[in-house]
Structure 1
């Protein structure tokens, strides 16, 4: 019997956990599989192990692990498999398959553009966008963000620079300070983050602290619950259920 386990990052911010749970629940409602559970990699419950236990208690004999992640990095390649492998020894007869993160998709770049446009702030000719990624020690993450940056710049036809909140260079703080010194009258901060949480709170604080620098600084929403994000995850669920890729 098929089971699906959605693995989200987790956060110490209750609003972030609630946002992720509501988003995944809306996707679950569109997937015709009886046994589906949500779990978190860290900082929130249920854990990966608890989610697997719940599915097996319901009779699942095949569990598709669906990472609720934007890109493939350490969480995808190391952390989620490590958590699954800790508990799968208890269930040698259960088959585990592994889905893919969303990856680079044009429709996600469209969501980033939509987040800029929905601010209802007219875009000036000398505007600039700062695309802010989470960051990772995996070199593929930086290559992926650079590709998204190029795609967004082409779509919006305004300069877009990338920066990172951790583990990659240039850092957000370095690039933010550079942008404040530049002649652009407008600076749009575009988070390449799926849900709210500590990192969004940090961006909100830094933008609030820097207002009044003779520059309009506009912080856009996270990718969040946009319909294109739901559709993209739903497709990854169906792929994971038909996949033969094991974890």
Structure 2
């Protein structure tokens, strides 16, 4: 493929979208800050749901005057939106705008830069507690739950990394909805195990209804366990590592660096769903050389979901 000048690229940031507009506004603010950091890049924004501009229409709009559209999800975990909806929207855009090349970057995923943010937040929370003793302080990594085991597995990996690289003897994982365990049950177990302090680390980029719910839950836990000190950190979508990760996603797309986690825009994943009567997919004959975790449902902010059932892979997904 011949080299294409960066000036002909449009970068389309894809945010999840929230029913709480303050969360959508934070994503807009992030994009404005990213534009200021990269004034030579054309950066646009769209949302998957709950807020305009909408993904499908935005893909067609930004293709006007662009030889190449670089689609970059501003999303932590890959569940239904990343594996199904974004690739399907790109496929439709390729049909409607054949003169434009569309490339999809991977989501932010569990990685060392995000781990660095969590470790920094944990250190700050420990410094604010009366007894900064990691042996008597439990840690709860709290994320959005999903019926997609791969998305939940990324959360489990982050919790394990926090344990491996810290001094805390107890680092647990909890979810705000759809799957288990929930925050209240994990805190109950930690208190029974003798923890005198608990740090809750929300695994969220921006605010929204779930972040608001988390702070209400922590206040309730303070009343339920008056003998335990609680600290709860904030969402972290404006940390420098997030900007750098987005920079890297763009540079990797421009350099043609392949993403082994979801090759061909997830087409093999969507083909399985298509065989079961869900959605559509494009034909291809090349061998991806790796299987994926395809058990899947959409996970929405208020906890409802639209199921897409597909058989699980018999091989491990590449790290």
Residue 28 of structure 1: how far off its partner (Å): 3.0
Higher Rg: 2
Q: Cα gap change, 1:150/1:34 in structure 2, threshold over 3 Å: closer, same or farther?
A: closer
Residue 32 of structure 1: how far off its partner (Å): 6.0
Residue 75 of structure 1: how far off its partner (Å): 1.5
Residue 80 of structure 1: how far off its partner (Å): 1.3
Q: Secondary structure at the match of 1:210?
A: helix
Q: For residues 34-69 of structure 1, what are the alpha-carbon distances to aligned partners after superposition, in whole Å with 9 as ceiling and x for unaligned?
A: 432111111011111232233133x01211111111
Alignment of 1:223 with 2:240, yes or no, is: no
Kept after mapping to 1: 8 A contact 2:60/2:96: no
Q: Secondary structure at the match of 1:38?
A: strand
Alignment of 1:65 with 2:71, yes or no, is: yes
Comparing both chains, which one has the higher relative contact order based on Cα–Cα distances under 8 Å and sequence gaps of 6 or more? 1
Q: Cα gap change, 1:33/1:48 in structure 2, threshold over 3 Å: closer, same or farther?
A: farther
Aligned positions, number: 246
Counterpart CA distance in 2 for 1:179 and 1:242 is: 47
**5+ residue gaps, structure 2:** 1-7, 266-319
Alignment of 1:107 with 2:113, yes or no, is: yes
Counterpart CA distance in 2 for 1:175 and 1:196 is: 23
Structure-2 residue corresponding to 1:168: 179
Counterpart CA distance in 2 for 1:237 and 1:165 is: 31
Counterpart CA distance in 1 for 2:21 and 2:144 is: 19
Q: For residues 112-147 of structure 1, what are the alpha-carbon distances to aligned partners after superposition, in whole Å with 9 as ceiling and x for unaligned?
A: 121122334142340000001212222222222222
Runs (4+) of structure 1 moved beyond 4 Å?
none
Counterpart CA distance in 2 for 1:74 and 1:138 is: 8
Alignment of 1:145 with 2:155, yes or no, is: yes
Q: Secondary structure at the match of 2:25?
A: helix
Structure-1 residue corresponding to 2:27: 20
TM-score for the superposition, normalised by structure 2: 0.71
**5+ residue gaps, structure 1:** none
After TM superposition, the structure 1 stretch with the greater mean CA deviation from structure 2, 28-37 or 126-135, is 28-37
Backbone CA RMSD of aligned residues: 2.1
